[in-house]
Amino acid sequence: MEVGTVTVVVDDKQQPGAEDQGKESGKGPNQPGGGSPDSKAKDAKAAPERKRARNLSEDKRFKLFSGTANRPLAEEIARHIGVQLGDAKMQRFADGEVYFQLLENVRGVDVFVVQPTCYPVDQHLVELFIMIDALKRASAARITVVVPYYGYARQDRKDRPRVAISAKLVADLLNTAGANRALFVDLHAAQIQGFFNIPVDHMFASPVLVSHFRSLALPNLIVVSPDAGGVERARHFAQKMGAPLAIVDKRRTDMNVAEVMHVVGDVNGKTCLIIDDIIDTAGTLVKTVDALYSAGAISVYACASHAVLSGPAIDRIAASRLEQVVVTDTIPLREQAQKLPKIKVLSIAGLLGAAIESIHMETSVSTLFS
Alpha-carbon span 197 to 191, nearest angstrom: 13
The verdict on whether 287 is a catalytic residue reads no
71-to-128, 148, 165, 240 alpha-carbon distances in Å = 13, 12, 29, 31
Q: Supply the DSSP string of 8-23, one letter for each residue.
A: -----SPPPPPPPS--
Reported in sequence order, the residue ranges of 135-237 that DSSP labels E, i.e. its strands, are 142-147, 181-185, 200-203, 221-225
* Residues 6 or more apart in contact with residue 110 via CB below 8 angstroms: 61, 62, 63, 140, 141, 142, 144, 360
Q: Which of 60, 250, 270, 287 is catalytic?
A: 250
**Which residues, including other chains, have CB under 8 Å from residue 55's CB and lie 6 or more apart?**
82
Helix, strand, or coil here: 310?
coil
Phi, psi of 17 (to 5 degrees): -90, 160
Specify whether the CB–CB gap between 279 and 325 falls below 8 A: yes
Q: Say how far apart CA 80 and CA 316 lie, in whole Å.
A: 35
User: Please, are residues 101 and 127 in contact by the beta-carbon 8 Å criterion?
Assistant: no
Active site (catalytic) residues:
250
